[in-house]
Amino acid sequence: MKTILDFQDKKNKNEKITMVTCYDYTFARILAESDVDCLLVGDSLSNTMLGHPTTLSATTNIMAMYAGAVARGAGDKKLVIADLPFMSYRKGITATMTAAEKVMRSGVHAVKLEGGEGNYAMVKHMVGSGVPVMGHLGLTPQSVNQLGGFKVQGRDEKAQKKIMEEALRLQDAGAFSVVLECVPSHLAKEITAALDIPTIGIGAGSDTSGQVLVLQDLLGMNPGFKPKFVKTFYNGFENLKDAFNTYHEEVTGGQFPSAKESYS
Ligand code: KIV
């Protein structure tokens, strides 16, 4: 999948979309050769790459640096979307456009931002300026302090109505897709049915147009972090640790380097 038109095409054909977060050149090269449809340079890099407790530490410069590495690794093989970080799209149109410009110039194809209320004019202006925008509703980690923690959203009818309304308004503003994070499955299903554009779920059940997972969670590299919605597809932490230990053993035991890895 290379463009946002392919994204829409998948929904139209009722084919599931797969997205994985990616933050560096090396993994982007692997993902570029995989069947995964598209890559998200999430501001979750603040957690996974930089060790912060929330995504609030990501800045536009940080996002642009990581986004550039992923775009170079993905080449022309995958659609790459990057997050606009905390506050970068809440200080007026000029500041928003400067942030979007910086992130887009890194080489990605689209940006993502969190929340509905207060963002519609920004989305419309970006889309009108040639910047494809993905929305993100439900659990919006940049608002963790307002939400009082990383909690499932849309539990009651009023909250569900608000999320549905925001999704429709993001679509009206020109968003090409909406991420739904940690919402009840029935709500994600209803929103997906109500929208023409595709929804991408994480902790939103199986009825969204596609799914996204954080790379480190998918690869089992983050032991101890196992929210209900995460499935690990590889025992990355243990397998990588084993490889490091084998290297250590071979160096200390004299097997590496052998003649094969040495110059005559
Ligand atoms: O930053 C991120 O990784 C995300 C996904 C969880 C959707 O926004």
Please write the tens of the pLDDT for every residue from 210-233: 999 999 999 999 998 889 999 999
Q: Is the CB of 21 under 6 A from ligand 1?
A: yes
**Count of CB atoms situated within 10 Å of the CB of 205:** 17
Check if the beta carbon of residue 119 is closer than 8 Å to that of residue 178: no
Q: Is 46 in the pocket of ligand 1 (CB under 6 A)?
A: no
Whole-angstrom Cα distance, residue 183 to residue 175? 20
CB 237 within 8 A of CB 220: yes
Q: Is the CB of 210 under 6 A from ligand 1?
A: no
Decide if 204 contacts 183 (C-beta within 8 A).
Answer: yes
Share of the chain above pLDDT 70, in %: 100
User: Which residues lie below 8 Å from residue 16, measured CB to CB, with a gap of 6+?
Assistant: 10, 209, 210, 211
Mean pLDDT of 199-219: 98
Q: For ligand 1, what atom is nearest to the CA of residue 114?
A: 8
Write out pLDDT tens, residues 102-137.
999 999 999 999 999 999 999 999 999 999 999 999
Q: Which residue type is seen at 92?
A: G
The pTM is what? 0.97
Output the CA angle 181-230-43, nearest 5 degrees. 50
Cα 88 to Cα 99: distance, rounded to the nearest angstrom: 6
How does residue 1 score in pLDDT terms, banded at 50, 70 and 90? confident
Beta bridge partners of 245: none
Contact indicator for 118, 137 with CB cutoff of 8 Å: no
Element containing residue 162 per DSSP (H, E)? helix 157-173
Closest CA to 218 of 235, 204, 206: 235
The H or E element that residue 108 is part of is none
CA angle 66, 56, 215 (to 5 degrees): 45
Q: Is 212 in the pocket of ligand 1 (CB under 6 A)?
A: yes
Ligand 1: atom nearest CA of 55 is 1
Cα(136) to ligand 1 centroid in Å equals 9
Task: Work out whether the CA dihedral 148, 64, 72, 48 comes out positive or negative.
Answer: negative
- Three-state SS at 20: strand
Q: Which residue's CA is the nearest one to ligand 1's atom 5?
A: 42
CA 28/CA 243 separation, integer angstroms: 21
The answer to whether the CB of 219 falls within 8 A of the CB of 232 is yes
Q: With pLDDT > 90 as the criterion, what percentage of the chain qualifies?
A: 98
* Pairing state between β 79-83 and 38-41: parallel
Tell me which residues are annotated as active site.
181
Ligand 1 atom nearest residue 112's Cα? 8
Ligand 1 in reach of 218 Cβ (< 6 A): no
Cα 262 to middle of ligand 1, angstroms: 44
**What is the mean pLDDT of the segment spanning 38-52?**
98
